[in-house]
Structure 1
Amino acid sequence: MTEPAEHRTQVAIVGAGPVGATVANYLGLYGVRTLLIDRSEEIVDYPRAAGMDDECLRSFQGIGLADEMLADMIQNVPLRMFAANGICLADIRPETKEYGWPRRNIFMQQLAERTLRVGLQRYPHVRPLLGHELIRVEQDGTEARLHVTDPQGERVLVHAEYVVAADGGRSTVREQLGIPLSGDTHPRKWVVIECDNDPLDAPYTGLHGDPKRPYVCLDLPYNYRRWEFMLFPGEDAEAMLRPEKVRELLTGHVPDPTALNIIRARVYTHHSRVADRFVDGRICLVGDAAHLMPPWAGQGMNTGIRDATNVAWKLAAVVTGRAHPRILATYDTERREHAKTMVKLSDALGRFLSPTSTTVARARDTLLRGLTVAPSVRDWVIQMRFKPVPRYSEGIMLHRHGTVRKSSPAGRMIIQPRVETAEGRVLPLDETLGEWFALIGYGTDPLVHLDAGSRAFWDRIGTRYITVVESRSGRSRTERRTSMTDSVTVEDVDGTLRDWFAQHQGSVAVVRPDRYLAALTDPRDLATVSDAFERLVAPSRSAEFKDAWRSVPVTEGEAS
């Protein structure tokens, strides 16, 4: 047999769907040599993810693709919950933009994937290997090796320092590692139907708790519409995809089912499962390879994009020598519990939707109607505050006195209000923070409080220094307040950062590359916090850590 062709790379990603392509874009941004491997040469073109939240858009902002995503997206789409009798029980329209983007947006996954793949063209060090199928993966203390076949069936061997498994719910990588995907498979199947000549004037996502047949109806971009219908025991899944059955399902929901141009019909089985571990040696699981959930909360892909944003900067920090390989353990620590929480939310919304007993459905409707009479509960529902926001209690962060408190902002995503630069440009906060860590001082320059050793550490991991001042606190438009150091000075346009720092009692924030708050402290304690982070991140300086490839726990420091 001929020897296989060989590739060497820093990171290999298996799976070029939205999560894998997002990891690849971030690694491209960070300057990491990357191979993106997928057995398909084409983007899959059938019903999949349709909802994108504010956190997800902020991730795409980080790789410069949020505006491109929005160009194919309907923003601020209401979510309506309907009772058994068709009456609207809740009209959910979240108004908050605390992270800089609308909370409920509708898109089509195939268009988003195209945007992500085009985005990769910006990075010559990111190479797609499409039409290449993974056969076997193995790893040791020095590297991972992926045995792949190319489109002609020829063998290819990929040597990688690390691997990201983004290869879906039937992940070859996860199965070969022997990692269980714990949880349940739901007994009911659902048929998903899409047409490209939308006949309805219903610009919202509707969850219809009709016990005769629960269903979901979504308004999609570009005159598309999707329906999802529950199948009952005894109904043959394949038979339900026949044209006459599809028209039968749509009868009563559209004026004339025969006039619709049905472009897709597919049956899905729903799962609520989370992998027992997200990290195995040099391999990290992301997206559906790590967790599966029903679609009712619209969080399957969004949760995967959070995985991608979290793991990408940590892998980049390790392979570029900014951090010790042990920080990869924190990917599992931070992301797995949140994935479980999102699965629970999806299950809860599924239980709201799925009763087929008229008595149970009426009881559900009465309960929800009664609960939302209270203004606080109604606001909680309408503003979509029932969606759990990730909060990491352990990992790359420091909590005051080493304890996690409910009021502590550490481990949460920092807000993203508008700020104004010295040149008079009004920008979202993230546009001023750079690609790596940021030290943000409100009313104080963080650089003034760093000694030479601390400054050397923060510089080594690519930190940007930001001083935030009150809006219009300079002498005039042309004489704005500036810093005497290398810190970038911006004005707090809306006073939002002033209120945030005042509420949380600290004036210097340590912000991670994924925009999560790593610490909040007082200037006088910044040197102590810097020492704690150097121990936490522990940048490698040569071959010192060449054998430290297995994940080990990271201990929290004592700080604010």
Structure 2
Amino acid sequence: MKTNNPYRTSVAIVGAGPNGVAMANLLGLYGVNAVIIEKAPQIVEFPRAVGIDDEALRLFQTAGLADELSRDIIQNVPLRMFKANGECFADIRPTMREFGWWRRNIFMQQLAEKTLREGLARYPHVALRTSEEVVGLEQDAGGVTLQVRRADGQQYTLEADYVVAADGGRSPMREILGIKLAGATHPIKWVVVDVKNADLEQPCTALNCDPRRPNVCIYLPFNYRRWEFLVFPHEDEEEIARPESIRRLIAPYISNVDQIDIVRARTYTHHSRVAERFVVGRVALIGDAAHLTPPWIGQGLNAGLRDVGNLAWKLAGIVKGTLQASVLQTYESERRDHAKAMIDLADTFGAMLMPTNRFVAFLRDRFFSLVRFAPGLRDYVLQMRFKPMPSYTGGVVVAGHSRSIGRMIVQPDVETADGVRCKLDDVLGPWFSIVGWRCDPQACMSAEDRAYWGALGVKFVQVNRSRSGACRAQRVASAHGSECVEDVDNVMADWFERNPGPLVLVRPDRYVAAQTDAAGAKNMTAAFHAFAPQQQEDVHVC
């Protein structure tokens, strides 16, 4: 029986997986009313996504959840590639922490989802509704109306200014909107098995590039381990997922195969697909609803979290009236091409892992063996410099000559005026910031421009060289109230040397929106009016 209980929210999020709940946490932080609709009654209690990178942890740092999530994460896990004889021919172990976190980390999705949902308790203006399903959608210039069905079959109407579809690879929301997925479905299947208590001392992600049966073995937290085995075309996918078959596959790698606990085993088909559109009217797709990637570089969830980081602050600014409504369209223009680039990289890695032809496998092994004799190529591979980073030439950026514009700014440790060492983002805050290198950004602006940025809620930060003041008690201070910190490890000094221009406008997702000098500050302010109109009064987004 249909009911007419009216509900209203600023943003409705469909899907309470890690992307949807991460979005809700950020919207909660920004003071935006949000409702999450989730069909499942509870979290699925077994591992799914297992890789989380530095960009994702930086996002969760902004959300105030990185430290709690880290309690269930194994950080700085190497990726090793092995020949059929067990010899390691590539040890990919990035040492860089340019964004404040290690590049390769291993977690278990169900534990992260629990932490993310607990984080929602901080925000009374965010609601999670489980055992509910969106069955209809209509939108116009004024908003979106969702028809939601409860577990008992009753329906109600939920009105929202904007909707985020985070409802997974099969996305009913994408189907309702009529958006097609472009790309390919791979013909080769893989059986994925999670086990406990495997007797194997191998604390890494191992790509066992054995042409007899390529497979992946992943070291997980709390004595879990995952294997992914290629399924040959002549094999029955149900038969190979049976416990006795799984034990035969794992037996060559461990000594206690009869004692392991098989948590789950399931056969998967991999997809390399991107939605033709990420935004339709007032509805935006994120995560697997927008793009599907093979698992070989652990970027499926991470790509979705990049969507979250790009979209959350834009929705918050639009809802609060600080940003133009047209900014929503930049989500698609900024994210779609990079999502496709990550899928292409995953396909390349899969091609390296999957050869069942021994000669092709031999050529691959020889290539990686020779890489170590070419330092530039070696670092490119082993330090994961092949991972494409987003670089925005359009969207919410102000054109300029600096190469940093449209790229993520580094995150070193800095030292505050009272001598506390912390990560840079903890000083910048969760919203826009303007950073001055060895200068007060406010001192470079007119009173009118300072008022414009202040009304937008921008944080002003001056970064000085380490030990720049007269003494501990007399550090460099701002006459305008900008927060002053010191570059204790000289990381910012190196960054500004590579990217000249002492004034940097940093977006909430830590991408550089503009870089200029004192003479260009007024033009930067004028150009940003295209994205954020002049406010009549201060707007507190967070």
The TM-score range, normalised by the shorter chain, is: over 0.9
Number of the residue aligned with 2:271: 271
Number of the residue aligned with 1:428: 423
**Counterparts of 2:212 and 2:357 in 1: how far apart (Å)?**
8
2:357 is the alignment partner of 1:357: yes
Number of the residue aligned with 2:435: 440
Deviation, structure 1 residue 371 = 3.3
Contact 2:455 2:535 in 1 (8 A): no
Number of the residue aligned with 1:260: 260
Number of the residue aligned with 2:392: 392
Other structure's SS at 2:529 match: helix
One-letter code aligned to 1:519: A
Number of the residue aligned with 1:244: 244
**Counterparts of 2:499 and 2:238 in 1: how far apart (Å)?**
56
Alignment of 1:255-334 (within 5 A): 255-334=255-334
**Counterparts of 1:300 and 1:436 in 2: how far apart (Å)?**
26
Number of the residue aligned with 2:4: 4
Tell me: CA distance 1:541–1:480, structure 2 relative to 1, closer, same or farther (3 Å).
closer
Contact 2:198 2:256 in 1 (8 A): no
Number of the residue aligned with 1:500: 495
Structure 2 gaps, min length 5: 538-542
Percent of residue pairs bearing the same amino acid type: 52
Map Cα deviations across residues 44-86 of structure 1 (whole Å, 9 max, x no partner). Answer: 2334211111011000000011111110011111100112332
Deviation, structure 1 residue 2 = 5.0
**Residue 419 of structure 1, aligned match among 400, 411, 414:** 414
One-letter code aligned to 1:447: Q
Contact 1:323 1:540 in 2 (8 A): no
Other structure's SS at 2:48 match: coil
2:113 is the alignment partner of 1:118: no
Deviation, structure 1 residue 539 = 5.8
Contact 1:440 1:508 in 2 (8 A): yes
Other structure's SS at 2:3 match: coil
**Counterparts of 2:281 and 2:533 in 1: how far apart (Å)?**
19
Number of the residue aligned with 1:134: 134
Contact 2:412 2:423 in 1 (8 A): yes
Number of the residue aligned with 2:540: none
**Structure 1 range deviating more: 160-169 or 241-250:** 241-250
**Counterparts of 1:457 and 1:326 in 2: how far apart (Å)?**
20
One-letter code aligned to 1:416: Q
**Structure 1 range deviating more: 326-335 or 490-499:** 490-499
Contact 1:250 1:257 in 2 (8 A): yes
Contact 2:198 2:257 in 1 (8 A): no
Number of the residue aligned with 1:24: 24
One-letter code aligned to 1:252: P
One-letter code aligned to 2:492: L
Contact 1:181 1:276 in 2 (8 A): yes
**Counterparts of 1:518 and 1:251 in 2: how far apart (Å)?**
53
**Counterparts of 1:4 and 1:241 in 2: how far apart (Å)?**
46
Tell me: CA distance 1:335–1:2, structure 2 relative to 1, closer, same or farther (3 Å).
closer
Map Cα deviations across residues 335-363 of structure 1 (whole Å, 9 max, x no partner). Answer: 00110000001000000000111121112
Measured on the aligned residues, the alpha-carbon RMSD in Å equals 1.4
Number of the residue aligned with 2:225: 225
**Counterparts of 1:4 and 1:239 in 2: how far apart (Å)?**
49
**Residue 511 of structure 2, aligned match among 481, 505, 516:** 516
Contact 2:47 2:110 in 1 (8 A): no
Contact 1:79 1:204 in 2 (8 A): yes
Other structure's SS at 1:97 match: coil
Deviation, structure 1 residue 88 = 0.9
One-letter code aligned to 2:92: I
**Residue 537 of structure 1, aligned match among 504, 528, 532:** 532
Contact 1:84 1:358 in 2 (8 A): no
TM-score calculated relative to the size of structure 2: 0.97
**Counterparts of 1:21 and 1:144 in 2: how far apart (Å)?**
20
Contact 1:185 1:271 in 2 (8 A): yes
**Residue 467 of structure 2, aligned match among 460, 467, 472:** 472
Deviation, structure 1 residue 253 = 1.7
Contact 1:14 1:165 in 2 (8 A): yes
**Structure 1 range deviating more: 11-20 or 530-539:** 530-539
**Counterparts of 1:507 and 1:232 in 2: how far apart (Å)?**
57
Number of the residue aligned with 2:367: 367
**Counterparts of 2:460 and 2:535 in 1: how far apart (Å)?**
23
Alignment of 1:35-114 (within 5 A): 35-114=35-114
Deviation, structure 1 residue 168 = 0.3
Map Cα deviations across residues 289-336 of structure 1 (whole Å, 9 max, x no partner). Answer: 000000001000001001001100000000000011100111001100
Map Cα deviations across residues 106-125 of structure 1 (whole Å, 9 max, x no partner). Answer: 10010011110000110000
Contact 1:212 1:356 in 2 (8 A): yes
Other structure's SS at 2:122 match: coil
**Counterparts of 1:410 and 1:136 in 2: how far apart (Å)?**
40
2:333 is the alignment partner of 1:345: no
Contact 2:81 2:90 in 1 (8 A): yes
Deviation, structure 1 residue 499 = 1.8
Contact 1:436 1:461 in 2 (8 A): no
One-letter code aligned to 1:434: G
Contact 2:62 2:429 in 1 (8 A): no
How many aligned positions are there?
Answer: 537
**Structure 1 range deviating more: 321-330 or 75-84:** 75-84
**Counterparts of 1:236 and 1:459 in 2: how far apart (Å)?**
64
One-letter code aligned to 1:109: Q
Other structure's SS at 1:161 match: strand
Contact 1:28 1:125 in 2 (8 A): yes
**Structure 1 range deviating more: 222-231 or 466-475:** 466-475
Contact 1:457 1:534 in 2 (8 A): no
Contact 1:286 1:308 in 2 (8 A): yes
Deviation, structure 1 residue 261 = 1.0
**Counterparts of 1:259 and 1:434 in 2: how far apart (Å)?**
49
Deviation, structure 1 residue 234 = 2.1
Contact 2:51 2:106 in 1 (8 A): yes
One-letter code aligned to 1:523: A
Deviation, structure 1 residue 540 = 7.6
Map Cα deviations across residues 20-45 of structure 1 (whole Å, 9 max, x no partner). Answer: 01100000000000001100121123
**Counterparts of 2:231 and 2:148 in 1: how far apart (Å)?**
39
One-letter code aligned to 2:237: A
**Counterparts of 1:390 and 1:228 in 2: how far apart (Å)?**
29
Contact 1:18 1:116 in 2 (8 A): yes
**Counterparts of 2:199 and 2:536 in 1: how far apart (Å)?**
63
**Counterparts of 2:392 and 2:253 in 1: how far apart (Å)?**
43
**Counterparts of 1:46 and 1:357 in 2: how far apart (Å)?**
34
**Counterparts of 1:34 and 1:338 in 2: how far apart (Å)?**
27
Number of the residue aligned with 1:548: none
Structure 1 gaps, min length 5: 402-406, 543-560
**Counterparts of 2:57 and 2:534 in 1: how far apart (Å)?**
30
Number of the residue aligned with 1:546: none
**Counterparts of 1:83 and 1:538 in 2: how far apart (Å)?**
59
Other structure's SS at 1:376 match: helix
**Counterparts of 2:260 and 2:2 in 1: how far apart (Å)?**
54
One-letter code aligned to 1:69: L
Contact 2:270 2:293 in 1 (8 A): yes
